[in-house]
Amino acid sequence: MSLLRPFFVVSSAALLAGCESVGDVVNKHRPAVQKVFGELQALAPKVKTLEPLTEAKVTTPTPLVLEGPGANAMFIYVEDLAKPGDALPVHLRTIDSLPLLQCGALLEKGQYFADNITRTKPSVVDSYLSDCARLRYALIIVEREFKQPELTLITKSFTSGLYRADVLVFDLTDGAFLGGYPMSAKNDDSVSLFDADPDHRKRLLSNLESTIFTALRDGARAAMPGSLPEKPK
């Protein structure tokens, strides 16, 4: 009997968790996520007072982790602070900013961000909202310069685009500014353009978006060792 009782208790808990609806999961996390959203909103006026960064320097009181089960940080655009979860227009938005948008869409509509087709699953919703509720460090992306890549079709050559931004790190527990790092990205030196492609400029923008994603992450690795897994060698 003593061997069966622990198994019965664990199994019952698993069954109860499996019976939660998406609405149940959203309501369970709503207070904690809304608290985080309020803390993010309070950062907006602080960001406006900061001068552009000239060096990379970040000091955090506890480890900052951007990825994995213990993640407590997210990349967030300054444009998203006023109403976290709304996707205001930004140049070549990185996919690393999407978790916050997912949380906003789930709280407001009970659906995934920009997706009215995929059926929401309680386990996936729980994962998104748990990540937002656990958020402690906000890496605020403040764009400083953007230039579109320019294409010359006759010669199939292009002038690289440019993206420059500061990434400002804040502690949501007290709103403290912890430092940050400047980053920049441009197109790869060589980008494949195919004759059958109807929009070569879109391919160039996609390439620039990819290098922005990489530069943001490389900057985080350099300024905050351990924040992301090391790149494969």
Q: Specify the pLDDT at position 197.
A: 62
The terminus-to-terminus CA distance of the chain in angstroms comes to 53
Per-residue pLDDT of 57-102, as tens digits, reads 999 999 999 999 899 999 999 999 998 878 889 999 999 999 999 9
What's the chain look like in SS3?
CCCHHHHHHHHHHHHHHHCCCHHHHHHHHHHHHHHHHHHHHCCHHHHHCCCCCCCCEECCCCCCCCCCCCCCEEEEEHHHCCCCCCCCCCCCCCHHHHHHHHHHHHHHHCCCCCCCCCCCCHHHHHHHHHHHHCCCEEEEEEEEEEECCEEECCCCEEECCEEEEEEEEEECCCCEEEEEEEEEEECCCCCCCCCCCCCHHHHHHHHHHHHHHHHHHHHHHHHCCCCCCCCCC
Q: What is the pLDDT of residues 33-69, one digit of tens each?
A: 999 999 999 999 999 999 999 999 999 999 999 999 8
173-214 tens-digit pLDDT: 999 999 999 999 999 998 877 655 667 788 899 999 999 999
Q: Which residues contact 86 (CB under 8 A, 6 or more apart)?
A: 80, 101, 104
CA angle (24, 25, 30) in 5-degree steps = 100
Q: What percent of the chain has pLDDT over 90?
A: 73
| Model pLDDT for residues 114-168, shown as the tens digit of each residue | 887 889 999 999 999 999 999 999 999 999 999 999 988 777 788 999 999 999 9
